[in-house]
Amino acid sequence: MDTYSIALYVHLLALLAAIAAASLMHFAEARRFAATTRLEVLPWLGLAKSVSRVFPLSLLVLFASGAYLVHKIWTWDTGWVQAGIVGVVVLFASGIVIGKRSAAFAKALVASPDGPLSPELRAKNHDRIVSALSWMNTGIALGVVFVMVYKHALAFSLVAMAIGAGAGIVVSLVVDRSPAAESAPALSPE
Protein backbone atom coordinates (compact mmCIF):
# COMPACT_ATOMS: atom_id res chain seq x y z
CA MET A 1 0.00 0.00 0.00
CA ASP A 2 1.44 3.41 -0.96
CA THR A 3 1.66 6.36 1.45
CA TYR A 4 -1.12 8.23 -0.40
CA SER A 5 -3.60 5.38 0.28
CA ILE A 6 -2.53 5.21 3.93
CA ALA A 7 -3.03 8.99 4.35
CA LEU A 8 -6.48 8.75 2.67
CA TYR A 9 -7.38 5.89 5.05
CA VAL A 10 -6.28 8.00 8.07
CA HIS A 11 -8.32 10.91 6.62
CA LEU A 12 -11.41 8.67 6.49
CA LEU A 13 -10.75 7.26 9.99
CA ALA A 14 -10.76 10.82 11.38
CA LEU A 15 -14.06 11.44 9.59
CA LEU A 16 -15.59 8.24 11.03
CA ALA A 17 -14.44 9.21 14.55
CA ALA A 18 -16.02 12.66 14.18
CA ILE A 19 -19.31 11.23 12.89
CA ALA A 20 -19.46 8.65 15.71
CA ALA A 21 -18.75 11.41 18.27
CA ALA A 22 -21.41 13.63 16.66
CA SER A 23 -24.03 10.87 17.05
CA LEU A 24 -23.25 10.52 20.76
CA MET A 25 -23.18 14.30 21.15
CA HIS A 26 -26.63 14.77 19.60
CA PHE A 27 -28.02 12.01 21.81
CA ALA A 28 -26.46 13.49 24.99
CA GLU A 29 -27.72 16.97 24.06
CA ALA A 30 -31.27 15.72 23.45
CA ARG A 31 -31.32 13.97 26.86
CA ARG A 32 -29.80 17.02 28.55
CA PHE A 33 -32.39 19.38 27.03
CA ALA A 34 -35.21 17.10 28.22
CA ALA A 35 -33.83 16.85 31.78
CA THR A 36 -35.47 18.98 34.47
CA THR A 37 -33.33 18.44 37.57
CA ARG A 38 -29.69 19.11 38.36
CA LEU A 39 -28.90 15.43 38.89
CA GLU A 40 -30.54 14.46 35.58
CA VAL A 41 -28.63 17.09 33.60
CA LEU A 42 -25.13 16.52 35.03
CA PRO A 43 -24.36 13.04 33.55
CA TRP A 44 -25.46 14.08 30.04
CA LEU A 45 -23.44 17.28 30.26
CA GLY A 46 -20.46 15.17 31.38
CA LEU A 47 -20.90 12.76 28.46
CA ALA A 48 -21.09 15.66 25.99
CA LYS A 49 -17.92 17.15 27.48
CA SER A 50 -15.98 13.87 27.18
CA VAL A 51 -17.18 13.26 23.62
CA SER A 52 -16.42 16.84 22.54
CA ARG A 53 -12.68 16.16 22.95
CA VAL A 54 -12.82 14.02 19.80
CA PHE A 55 -13.71 16.97 17.50
CA PRO A 56 -10.54 19.12 17.64
CA LEU A 57 -8.44 15.97 17.34
CA SER A 58 -10.43 14.76 14.30
CA LEU A 59 -10.16 18.18 12.64
CA LEU A 60 -6.43 18.23 13.24
CA VAL A 61 -6.02 14.77 11.69
CA LEU A 62 -8.34 15.68 8.78
CA PHE A 63 -6.26 18.78 8.10
CA ALA A 64 -2.86 17.07 8.49
CA SER A 65 -3.76 14.02 6.39
CA GLY A 66 -5.55 16.25 3.85
CA ALA A 67 -2.47 18.48 3.62
CA TYR A 68 -0.34 15.42 2.89
CA LEU A 69 -2.75 14.29 0.14
CA VAL A 70 -2.67 17.79 -1.40
CA HIS A 71 1.12 17.89 -1.19
CA LYS A 72 1.32 14.52 -2.99
CA ILE A 73 -0.86 15.03 -6.07
CA TRP A 74 -3.13 18.10 -5.76
CA THR A 75 -2.48 21.84 -5.51
CA TRP A 76 -3.44 24.36 -2.78
CA ASP A 77 -5.26 26.58 -5.31
CA THR A 78 -7.80 23.81 -6.03
CA GLY A 79 -11.32 25.08 -5.19
CA TRP A 80 -12.60 22.02 -3.29
CA VAL A 81 -9.39 21.84 -1.23
CA GLN A 82 -9.79 25.51 -0.21
CA ALA A 83 -13.44 24.88 0.63
CA GLY A 84 -12.38 21.94 2.85
CA ILE A 85 -10.04 24.27 4.74
CA VAL A 86 -12.86 26.82 5.19
CA GLY A 87 -15.01 23.97 6.52
CA VAL A 88 -12.38 22.94 9.07
CA VAL A 89 -11.96 26.57 10.26
CA VAL A 90 -15.74 27.08 10.63
CA LEU A 91 -16.10 23.77 12.50
CA PHE A 92 -13.29 24.77 14.88
CA ALA A 93 -14.80 28.23 15.52
CA SER A 94 -18.30 26.89 16.07
CA GLY A 95 -16.92 24.16 18.38
CA ILE A 96 -15.28 26.84 20.52
CA VAL A 97 -18.61 28.71 20.88
CA ILE A 98 -20.41 25.45 21.84
CA GLY A 99 -17.67 24.61 24.36
CA LYS A 100 -17.75 28.07 25.97
CA ARG A 101 -21.55 28.15 26.31
CA SER A 102 -21.65 24.60 27.70
CA ALA A 103 -18.83 25.32 30.17
CA ALA A 104 -20.61 28.47 31.42
CA PHE A 105 -23.81 26.49 31.92
CA ALA A 106 -21.92 23.65 33.69
CA LYS A 107 -20.38 26.19 36.07
CA ALA A 108 -23.79 27.65 36.94
CA LEU A 109 -25.25 24.15 37.31
CA VAL A 110 -22.52 22.93 39.67
CA ALA A 111 -23.05 26.01 41.86
CA SER A 112 -26.83 25.45 42.00
CA PRO A 113 -28.63 23.37 44.67
CA ASP A 114 -29.92 19.83 44.01
CA GLY A 115 -33.49 19.42 42.81
CA PRO A 116 -35.49 20.89 39.92
CA LEU A 117 -33.70 23.49 37.78
CA SER A 118 -34.62 27.12 38.39
CA PRO A 119 -36.50 28.74 35.46
CA GLU A 120 -33.31 30.60 34.56
CA LEU A 121 -31.17 27.43 34.53
CA ARG A 122 -33.88 25.56 32.65
CA ALA A 123 -33.80 28.19 29.91
CA LYS A 124 -29.98 28.00 29.81
CA ASN A 125 -30.08 24.19 29.77
CA HIS A 126 -32.18 24.04 26.62
CA ASP A 127 -29.61 26.13 24.75
CA ARG A 128 -30.96 26.56 21.21
CA ILE A 129 -27.71 28.16 20.02
CA VAL A 130 -25.73 25.09 21.11
CA SER A 131 -28.32 22.87 19.43
CA ALA A 132 -28.27 24.91 16.19
CA LEU A 133 -24.45 25.07 16.03
CA SER A 134 -24.08 21.41 16.85
CA TRP A 135 -26.48 20.31 14.07
CA MET A 136 -25.01 22.95 11.74
CA ASN A 137 -21.58 21.35 12.27
CA THR A 138 -22.91 17.94 11.31
CA GLY A 139 -24.46 19.50 8.19
CA ILE A 140 -21.19 21.24 7.29
CA ALA A 141 -19.21 18.01 7.78
CA LEU A 142 -21.58 16.14 5.46
CA GLY A 143 -21.29 19.07 3.03
CA VAL A 144 -17.49 18.76 3.08
CA VAL A 145 -17.80 15.03 2.37
CA PHE A 146 -19.84 15.93 -0.74
CA VAL A 147 -17.26 18.59 -1.69
CA MET A 148 -14.35 16.13 -1.32
CA VAL A 149 -16.09 13.42 -3.36
CA TYR A 150 -17.42 15.76 -6.09
CA LYS A 151 -14.22 17.85 -6.38
CA HIS A 152 -15.63 21.01 -7.94
CA ALA A 153 -14.73 24.75 -8.01
CA LEU A 154 -14.57 26.91 -4.85
CA ALA A 155 -17.88 28.79 -5.27
CA PHE A 156 -19.83 25.60 -5.98
CA SER A 157 -18.16 23.86 -3.02
CA LEU A 158 -18.94 26.74 -0.64
CA VAL A 159 -22.60 26.70 -1.74
CA ALA A 160 -22.74 22.94 -1.08
CA MET A 161 -21.33 23.48 2.41
CA ALA A 162 -23.75 26.37 3.07
CA ILE A 163 -26.66 24.09 2.06
CA GLY A 164 -25.32 21.48 4.52
CA ALA A 165 -25.10 24.13 7.26
CA GLY A 166 -28.65 25.37 6.53
CA ALA A 167 -30.03 21.81 6.52
CA GLY A 168 -28.34 21.20 9.90
CA ILE A 169 -29.96 24.31 11.40
CA VAL A 170 -33.38 23.24 10.07
CA VAL A 171 -32.88 19.81 11.72
CA SER A 172 -32.07 21.54 15.03
CA LEU A 173 -35.30 23.57 14.83
CA VAL A 174 -37.33 20.40 14.18
CA VAL A 175 -35.57 18.45 16.97
CA ASP A 176 -35.95 21.33 19.46
CA ARG A 177 -39.70 21.51 18.80
CA SER A 178 -40.34 17.77 19.18
CA PRO A 179 -42.31 16.78 22.30
CA ALA A 180 -39.40 14.50 23.33
CA ALA A 181 -37.09 17.52 23.60
CA GLU A 182 -39.52 19.28 25.93
CA SER A 183 -40.81 16.63 28.28
CA ALA A 184 -39.30 13.15 27.87
CA PRO A 185 -38.15 11.47 31.08
CA ALA A 186 -34.40 12.09 31.31
CA LEU A 187 -32.77 8.68 31.64
CA SER A 188 -29.31 8.74 33.13
CA PRO A 189 -26.43 7.08 31.20
CA GLU A 190 -25.19 5.61 34.50
Which residues have C-beta within 8 Å of that of residue 17, sequence separation ≥ 6?
54, 57, 58
Of 43 and 84, the one with the shorter C-beta distance to ligand HEM is 84
User: In whole angstroms, what is the distance from residue 28 CA to residue 115 CA?
Assistant: 20
Establish if 85 lies at the interface with ligand HEM (CB under 6 A).
Answer: yes
| Interface with ligand HEM in residues 5-34 (CB under 6 A) | 8, 11, 15
The least CB distance from residue 66 to ligand HEM, in Å, is 2
Establish if 139 lies at the interface with ligand HEM (CB under 6 A).
Answer: no
The least CB distance from residue 54 to ligand HEM, in Å, is 13
Establish if 86 lies at the interface with ligand HEM (CB under 6 A).
Answer: no
Establish if 1 lies at the interface with ligand HEM (CB under 6 A).
Answer: no
The least CB distance from residue 128 to ligand HEM, in Å, is 24
The least CB distance from residue 57 to ligand HEM, in Å, is 13
Q: Which residues bind ligand HEM (CB under 6 A)?
A: 8, 11, 15, 62-63, 66-67, 69-70, 74, 81, 84-85, 87-88, 141, 144-145, 148-149
